[in-house]
Amino acid sequence: MAGNKHRQLFLLPLSPLCLALYLLILPSLARFALSEIIFEERFLDGWKSRWVVSDWKRSEGKAGTFKHTAGKWPGDPDDKGIQTTKDAAHSAISAKLPEFSNKDRTLVLQYSIKFEQEIECGGGYIKLLSGFVNQKKFGGDTPYSLMFGPDICGTQTKKLHVILSYQGQNYPIKKDLQCETDKLTHFYTFILRPDASYSILVDNRERDSGSMYTDWDILPPRKIKDVKAKKPADWDDREYIEDPNQVKPEGYDSIPAEIPDPKAKEPDNWDEEEDGVWKPPKVPNPAYKGPWKRKKIKNPNYKGKWKIPWIDNPEFEDDPDLYVMKPIKYVGIEVWQVKAGAIFDNVLICDDPEYAKQVVEEVFANREMEKEAFEEAEKVRKAQEEEEARRAREEGERRRRERGHDRRYRDRYRDKYRRHDRHDYLDDYHDEL
């Protein structure tokens, strides 16, 4: 489903009760009436007429293909998407949109993806494209306005890309966002608003949010630290100080750290003539409190920890249209995957985050059935692996037995050969001569 799809509001004669209910839901109806679905693709019948598979990398034998399928463990067997099918290939496909601009409106880009394969390394992102695009040549070098979605490689890279184009240059988000890596369907939603704020949702839950001004290095920052600033000489950053009114007790310094042990007794066999005058051993003095120190009290002049102040950045020049992309004309999928098997579905471009949320809820109504189907498929897979392992063990054992039989035969033959005297063979040779 593509094109401008406006919801219309119809007014019918209502009873007092219905009128009350109608007035209650009127704000929501009004919002839906004003919202616009720019493009929505559920990959139903006729989807091939809207999408063009690219020939990019085909001459090198590296072009991927797509299959229309619900996958191996669907929540709904009738809910199909398009799945990458060729390993170690570049898969590219795109659809033309009714040209639109996100100026003065919220932009919502949402889609679902399911990695049925052990992807090892590869992408699962989607792109919005501006300007003219030769769809048969659409590929990794085609300029785009927005790239959004997961990128997985090994156990270390589980990145969620958000790359925006500004004045012909691509800027990745500075945050380290993580994507999902299991084998179930997941929805990725990117929302960009006219105030340049954004939200990223995964399965209808906010994963992150912020502003284009701070989370991309597109414009210089509004504020910078004043490198010339110095802490004022009278700035007191001591939170606690010694109590100036406290006085050391008289005789404090004369208290010894150790004293003779009052419980000690002179041994019975102590001989002063031989051992000298007996002295009790020293023990810690419980009255000794260590070197005297004034107690700490709150500093009445404490101003807090001094921080370098922020000042206006003289290099910052605001762009009120920072969030505005070049008019969008296409949506495309362009990924490289070591192992194919990712299913793309439920592509949505609109200006209403609430409608996008409803789409997720609608598809996830079958979430538990998908989980159950996956668990059943996993049981079958593990059973097959165990059976294959059993057969491999049996085959290995059979081969070891055969090698053992051959070895015993060779040993018997070698012993038989060794039992003959070498001269016997030479005598036969001379007789023949």
The single-letter DSSP state of residue 420 is S
The helix/strand/coil state of 39 is: strand
In 3D space, the residue among 124, 84, 110 whose CA is nearest the CA of residue 187 turns out to be 110
Residue with tokens 């003095």: 285
* φ, ψ at 44 (rounded to 5°): -90, -170
pLDDT at 17: 64
Q: What is the pLDDT along the chain (433 residues), one digit of tens a residue?
A: 554 444 433 344 556 665 666 666 655 555 555 689 999 999 999 999 999 999 999 999 999 999 999 999 999 999 999 999 999 999 999 999 999 999 999 999 999 999 999 888 999 999 999 999 999 999 999 999 999 999 999 888 899 999 999 999 999 999 999 999 999 999 999 999 999 999 999 999 999 999 999 999 999 999 999 999 999 999 999 999 999 999 999 998 889 999 999 999 989 898 888 888 989 999 999 989 899 999 999 999 999 999 999 999 999 999 999 999 999 999 999 999 999 999 999 999 999 999 999 999 999 999 999 999 999 988 988 898 888 898 999 889 888 888 876 666 666 666 665 655 545 544 543 444 4
What's CA 271's distance to the chain center, in Å? 82
pLDDT at 421: 54
- In tens, the pLDDT along 157-216 reads 899 999 999 999 999 999 999 999 999 999 999 999 999 999 999 999 999 999 999 999
pLDDT at 416: 60
**Rounded (5°) CA angle 312-314-320:** 80
Tell me the average pLDDT of the chain. Answer: 89
Residues whose CB is less than 8 angstroms from the CB of residue 89 and which lie 6 or more positions away in sequence, other chains included:
57, 62, 63, 64, 65, 336, 337, 340
> DSSP E strands: which ranges in 246-295?
258-260, 282-284
3-state DSSP percent of the chain in helix, strand and coil, to 5: 25, 30, 40
Distance (Å, whole) CA 347 – CA 67: 16
Cβ atoms of 224 and 311 within 8 Å: the answer is yes
DSSP 14-25: --HHHHHHHHHH
Distance (Å, whole) CA 200 – CA 108: 10
**What dihedral angle (degrees, nearest 10) is formed by the CA atoms of 164, 322, 180, 154?**
30
Distance (Å, whole) CA 10 – CA 213: 41
331, two tokens: 């949506």
Cβ atoms of 37 and 355 within 8 Å: the answer is yes
pLDDT at 6: 42
Distance (Å, whole) CA 18 – CA 10: 14
- List residues bridging with 359 in a β-sheet: none
Burial of 259 (0-12, 13-18, 19+ CB in 10 A): middle
* φ, ψ at 173 (rounded to 5°): -65, 145
Distance (Å, whole) CA 204 – CA 202: 5
The single-letter DSSP state of residue 366 is G
Amino acid at 160: L
Distance (Å, whole) CA 41 – CA 1: 5
pLDDT at 11: 41
User: Which stretches of 92-229 are DSSP H helices?
Assistant: 212-215
Distances (CA, A) of 393 to 101, 240, 390, 396, 399: 63, 74, 5, 5, 10
Q: Is the C-alpha dihedral spanning 172, 178, 182, 186 positive or negative?
A: negative
